[in-house]
Amino acid sequence: MTALTLSTAGAATLRADALVVGVAKPADGGKGLVAAPGAEAVDAAFDGKLAAVLETLGASGAEGEVTKVPTSGGLKAPLVLAVGLGRAPSKDDAYDTETLRRAAGVAARALSGTKKAAFALPVEAVEDAEAVAEGALLGAYAFTAYQERGEDARDPLAEVVLLGGKPRDKAYKAAAERALAVAEEVNRARDLVNTPPNDLTPEAFAAVASAAGKENGVKVQVLDEKALAKGGYGGILGVGAGSQNPPRLVKLAYTHPKAEKTLALVGKGITYDSGGISLKPAGHNETMKCDMAGAAAVFAAVVSVARLGLPVNVTGWLALAENMPSGSATRPGDVLRMYSGKTVEVLNTDAEGRLVLADALTRASEEQPDAIVDVATLTGAMVLALGNRTFGIMANDDAFRTAIHEIADEAGEQSWPMPLPAELRKGMDSPTADIANMGERMGGGLVAGLFLKEFVGEGITWAHLDIAGPAYNESGPYGYTPKGGTGSAVRTLVRLAERTAAGDLG
């Protein structure tokens, strides 16, 4: 894990392997470069010509651009890494936190193989310091568990030193601790998403959750296939029926003596999704180890809340199964009796996530939480609607949907509110069962949300996050986001818990 320290040392005198500074395009729209606040000492070491030197090397100040310059003895650090921040803000404004978070992530990734880097990016407030710290820790992530480490292997940046962080200031210290806890849990979620499905079975995922619960004061209950059968969890059992790796339902419970509100978080945890009998075609199943990203997000969020000691009760429900074809698999046309007692006609076994979530939503509702949020890589339709970087938000309460959208923006995660049109419900009418697991093809992401709504307890505020797009990055890394598992929705859920604890919701 990358270490994080705060320092009041000057950039010119701190001993480090690299110094990270920001550069930007002039606020007035003119040509050239300007050094961002925090780079003053570095600029002085270059006789006030840092921007000119960087421009000579081709730097433009564009967001995410990296330019490395040797210091030639002018500073204690042998290397300056200048990261582009885009257009500089006007005189009365400051750089927004997401710009700083992304810049720090780019710099940390570019410094893989480095032991110690000092970040002298613009820090005018506690929020800026936290954003830089979080971005650097997220950007330094790498998943190498299954790779041989040769002589040329470059480990992630080992230590991040945040300049201007005021280590004796309680607010800055708390911000650093929060950044470290949240980033480490996001990275834990990324590890789970990246783990091959032959190793991360439902049973193995449950074991990881149990171990983490013991370490962090979270109570963990695991229902195995026998307990699921006894309890009547027909949705989870139906999805897992075709696999040699039986399903699990994991409950994570964090409680605080001063809590006045309770949140329930429900995560889809399909550890591998072949589509079942409705088999996915070649080209659509190679990354389906990521279909448990919702459960990973819920797990990581609950552990984060526990580490931060927030005064709110949070319960996580991980609905874990492997969706495989076999002689024992659920068939299209089968009818499942769900935990709620409702019957579902399965028209497509590749619409399995909503089946495991339905059982978990019903079970979570029994405890009468103040709100339920489920997270799932649920539909390709949502990816078509919103792209690969934005998750959709649906809810049975417009104000709650708006609040989560705002919270996601605060956390630095792209999201968009989506409707639940009542007219789409009729498409799921079944002549055989209470409801079918498929409806109209157009608006498929909304149809899935309407299906889930059927299993939420009466009077309970609920939201559904469809993270099918941003959960797994198949393109190159950007900002603090790596290729592969991203840890999507973890930061939003943690921020939701913080807002709930503060009494800002409900």
CA distance 297 to 265: 9
- Pair of tokens at residue 312: 């709110």
Let me know if 354 is a catalytic residue.
Answer: yes
Query: What are the φ/ψ torsions at residue 152 (nearest 5 degrees)?
Result: -90, 0
Do residues 421 and 433 lie in contact, with contact meaning Cβ atoms separated by under 8 Å?
Answer: no
CA distance 272 to 294: 13
- Pair of tokens at residue 283: 């080209």
Pairing of strands 18-25, 34-35: antiparallel
CA-wise closest residue to 455 among 466, 446, 442, 464: 464
CA distance 352 to 197: 17
CA distance 500 to 461: 13
Sequence-distant (6+) residues with CB within 8 A of 398 are none
Do residues 130 and 412 lie in contact, with contact meaning Cβ atoms separated by under 8 Å?
Answer: no
CA atoms within 13 A on the CB side of 31: 2
List the catalytic residue out of 76, 87, 173, 280: 280
Let me know if 31 is a catalytic residue.
Answer: no
Helix axes 353-365, 444-453, angle to 10 degrees: 30
DSSP state, residue 414 = -
- Write the burial class of residue 72 (CB in 10 Å: 0-12 exposed, 13-18 middle, 19+ buried): exposed
Locate tokens 């000492």: which residue? 41
Bridge-partner residues for 383, per DSSP? none
Query: What are the φ/ψ torsions at residue 409 (nearest 5 degrees)?
Result: -65, -40
How would DSSP label each residue in 193-228?
HHS-TTT--HHHHHHHHHHHHHHHT-EEEEE-HHHH
CA distance 266 to 297: 9
- Pair of tokens at residue 436: 């079918």
What totals of helices (H) and strands (E) does the chain contain, helices first? 14, 20
Answer left, alpha or beta for residue 21, where phi above 0 means left and psi between -120 and 50 means alpha. Answer: beta
List the catalytic residue out of 101, 354, 401, 495: 354
DSSP state, residue 422 = G
Alpha-helical (H) ranges within 46-118 are 50-56, 97-110
| Active site residue ranges | 280, 354
